[in-house]
């Protein structure tokens, strides 16, 4: 009887920390990507400023694998979760105060970068606690709860925060800055509360109990120091495993075909992820929907998120019934074709014909349902085709990082394109951007079986012939091509995203020099990749050793060539635009006067925003 009640208390405690921890995971990402955009739009900033500044911050969550292993070198995972949550509490409080400064835009964007880093660190350690503090049976039992809690965190941020700001403005007569400052201050208090709660109930994230001859529950109860000691690794060991996992990843057969699917599957979505919500908030006279903050919070936060969840559940059942290999192209159609919903809304809305809440909610809910339905195909493909092997968890992290890479540049260009072309034309282009996704899904390779695989990761990989010169050179070409791709999609967006935040001519010159430097680096890496790829193809032709791996040489040559051509075009365009600057200002006493103007603001909507009838 005593054991039964003790077990129940342990289950209840586990449920509480899982729910609270994953709600805390879901909120910051939504705050940075969606809520901050809504806030800047409410202040009158143009879509161009918003998307360029915010989209590049998303890179932080993709970079998580680079410092994940280092968090095992000091203290416990719980320690880093608490530090991250208390830091986020302080950062949200600083944002509330920064709103009242003259240069609030730049200050808040910098603080959002820090929030993103703290959030990514929190995510790594919470996931690590989930894996190490729970056995496999319990992990499986609570996985649905984990996903539900993360999505609820998004609802709290997008729906709760935005709706509350609108409520404060409409019902209490608060001005724009005060209402948003209150929301940010409350967010800080919320994360301080999370930190205090998790101080008491969060497990430390020890290694599995069988490695210590003591249960994780006993280790927590008795504060056994041995539960942490064997988790320590040296920096050289962490780096060695990371390097080995990269080498193994670059040696996977049909790698470039799989990477193409991961990169392009969400190409159209990236153009809508930030710009879609801004379209809901934009002015009627500009062809947008001009929803109130309360209506936008309800549609984009609650209705949209619930539609995504339901769509994902139905999509999972669909794949389970018909298999991923047979349904992948259908799933790609489902995630791309409903984007026509935005074309429909942009065509029928006008200053004389504002759409009702119900009409907009139905259309957006329809699009989000099919988005959730189709997205599961990409996630499952990464699990079943890119991840299997000796480094399953690390390779899945690489795959998700690559998946998020395409979202950064597409989100960055979405605002400038929408401002320049208008919403009707822009959404047509976003629709056409889904074509690469469909092609990648149609030609996607399936080197591994999609049926249940054994727990032994090595057994899940088909046997390949012994390594020869062609395969070794193909791996070398692939590694350099991937490094070129990483610079192009990681570092270049950071440089371009920082352009609008440069407050001095010196900073602008530094960014231009950095862009030139990365272009030179990409050219050098691409030359190495192309030479290794061509050598691989020659070696394969001479020895007639055309294994599946040598095909990666073709992919490395093509990918490197395309990246270099695009990079040279971007650098040339930026250099030409900067050629009209007066660089003599760099050495003058009034260098600040040469700085680019701060982010511009648009004229407020002519028609007053009101809550729509239902």
pLDDT tens, position by position, 228-252: 444 455 667 667 777 777 888 888 8
Count other C-beta atoms under 10 Å from residue 380's C-beta.
19
Kindly indicate the confidence band of residue 84, based on its pLDDT and cuts at 50, 70 and 90. very high
Which H or E run includes 565? helix 551-578
Query: What pLDDT sits at residue 467?
Result: 55
**Alpha-carbon distance 327 to 333, whole Å?**
10
Q: Give the contacts of 589 (CB within 8 A, at least 6 positions apart).
A: none
Chain position carrying tokens 């990666």: 552
**Alpha-carbon distance 36 to 561, whole Å?**
37
Q: Give the contacts of 378 (CB within 8 A, at least 6 positions apart).
A: 261, 262, 265, 266, 331, 335, 403
Instruction: Say what the pTM is.
Output: 0.79
User: Up-side HSE of residue 424: CA atoms within 13 Å toward CB?
Assistant: 8
Highest mean pLDDT (candidates 139-148, 405-414, 512-521)? 512-521
Query: What pLDDT sits at residue 332?
Result: 93
**Alpha-carbon distance 66 to 58, whole Å?**
15
Residue 345 has pLDDT above 70, yes or no: yes
Phi, psi torsion values for 353, nearest 5 degrees:
-135, 65
**Alpha-carbon distance 184 to 165, whole Å?**
10
Query: What pLDDT sits at residue 217?
Result: 40
Residue 205 has pLDDT above 50, yes or no: yes
* Cα angle value 439/273/91 (rounded, 5°): 140
Query: What pLDDT sits at residue 537?
Result: 87
Residue 417 has pLDDT above 70, yes or no: yes
- pLDDT tens for residues 377-387? 887 888 778 77
Query: What pLDDT sits at residue 442?
Result: 93
Say if CB 109 and CB 274 are below 8 A apart.
no
Which H or E run includes 182? helix 176-201
Q: Give the contacts of 248 (CB within 8 A, at least 6 positions apart).
A: 389, 390, 391, 395
> Percentages helix, strand, coil for the chain, rounded to the nearest 5?
80, 0, 20
- pLDDT tens for residues 128-165? 788 777 776 776 667 667 777 888 888 888 888 898 99
Query: What pLDDT sits at residue 212?
Result: 39
End-to-end alpha carbon distance in the chain: 54
Residues 66-88, mean pLDDT to the nearest whole number: 83
Count other C-beta atoms under 10 Å from residue 508's C-beta.
20
Say if CB 430 and CB 505 are below 8 A apart.
no
Residue 404 has pLDDT above 90, yes or no: no
Q: Which of these, 448, 500, 421, lies nearest to 252 by C-alpha position?
A: 448
Least confident span in 85-89, 333-337, 467-471, 552-556: 467-471
Count other C-beta atoms under 10 Å from residue 90's C-beta.
15
Q: Which two tokens stand for residue 18?
A: 């899982």
């Amino acid at each position: 009887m005593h054991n039964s009640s003790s077990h129940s208390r342990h289950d209840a405690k586990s449920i509480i920390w899982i729910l609270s921890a994953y709600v805390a995971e879901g909120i910051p990402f939504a705050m940075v990507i969606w809520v901050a955009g809504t806030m800047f739009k409410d202040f009158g900033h143009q879509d161009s400023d918003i998307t360029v500044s915010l989209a590049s911050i998303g890179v932080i969550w993709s970079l998580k694998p680079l410092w994940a292993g280092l968090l095992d070198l000091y203290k416990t995972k719980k320690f880093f979760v608490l530090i991250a949550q208390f830091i986020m509490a302080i950062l949200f409080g600083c944002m509330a105060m920064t709103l009242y400064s003259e240069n609030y835009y730049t200050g808040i964007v910098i603080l959002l970068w820090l929030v993103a880093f703290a959030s990514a660190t929190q995510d790594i350690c919470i996931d690590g606690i989930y894996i190490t503090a729970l056995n496999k049976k319990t992990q499986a039992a609570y996985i649905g709860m984990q996903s539900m809690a993360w999505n609820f965190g998004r609802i709290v941020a997008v729906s709760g925060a935005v709706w509350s700001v609108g409520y404060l403005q409409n019902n209490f007569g608060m001005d724009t800055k005060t209402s948003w400052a209150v929301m940010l201050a409350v967010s800080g208090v919320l994360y301080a509360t999370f930190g205090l709660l998790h101080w008491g109930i969060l497990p430390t994230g020890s290694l599995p109990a069988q490695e210590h001859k003591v249960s994780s529950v006993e280790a927590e109860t008795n504060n056994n120091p041995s539960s942490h000691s064997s988790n320590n690794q040296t920096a050289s060991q962490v780096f060695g495993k990371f390097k080995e996992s990269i080498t193994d990843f670059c040696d996977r057969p049909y790698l470039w075909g799989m990477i193409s699917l991961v990169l392009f599957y969400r190409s159209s979505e990236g153009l809508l992820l930030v710009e879609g919500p801004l379209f809901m908030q934009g002015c009627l006279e500009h062809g947008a929907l001009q929803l109130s903050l309360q209506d936008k919070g309800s549609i984009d936060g609650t209705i949209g998120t619930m539609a995504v969840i339901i769509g994902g559940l139905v999509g999972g059942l669909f794949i389970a019934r018909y298999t991923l290999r047979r349904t992948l192209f259908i799933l790609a159609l489902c995630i791309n074709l409903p984007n026509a919903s935005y074309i429909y809304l942009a065509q029928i809305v006008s200053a004389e014909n504002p759409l009702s809440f119900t009409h907009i909610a139905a259309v957006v809910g329809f699009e989000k349902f099919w988005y959730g339905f189709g997205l599961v195909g990409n996630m499952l493909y990464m699990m079943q085709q890119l991840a299997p092997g000796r480094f399953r968890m690390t390779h899945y992290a690489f795959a998700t990082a690559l998946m998020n890479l395409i979202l950064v540049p597409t989100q960055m260009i979405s605002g400038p394109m929408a401002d320049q072309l208008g919403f009707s034309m822009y959404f047509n282009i976003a629709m056409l951007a889904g074509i690469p996704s469909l092609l990648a899904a149609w030609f996607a390779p399936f080197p591994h079986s999609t049926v249940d695989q054994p727990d032994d990761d090595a057994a899940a990989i088909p046997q390949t012939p012994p390594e020869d010169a062609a395969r070794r050179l193909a791996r070398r070409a692939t590694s350099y091509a991937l490094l070129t791709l990483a610079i192009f999609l990681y570092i270049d967006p950071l440089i371009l995203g920082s352009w609008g935040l440069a407050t001095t001519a010196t900073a602008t010159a530094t960014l231009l020099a950095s862009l030139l430097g990365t272009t030179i680096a990409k050219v050098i890496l691409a030359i190495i990749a192309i030479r290794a790829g061509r050598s691989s193809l020659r070696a394969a032709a001479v020895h007639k050793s055309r294994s599946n791996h040598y095909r990666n040489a073709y992919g490395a040559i093509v990918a490197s060539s395309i990246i270099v051509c695009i990079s040279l075009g971007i650098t040339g365009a930026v250099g030409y635009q900067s050629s009209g600057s007066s660089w003599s200002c760099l050495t003058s006493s009034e260098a600040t006067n040469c700085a680019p103007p701060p982010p511009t603001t648009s004229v407020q909507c002519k028609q007053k925003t009101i809550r729509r009838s239902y």
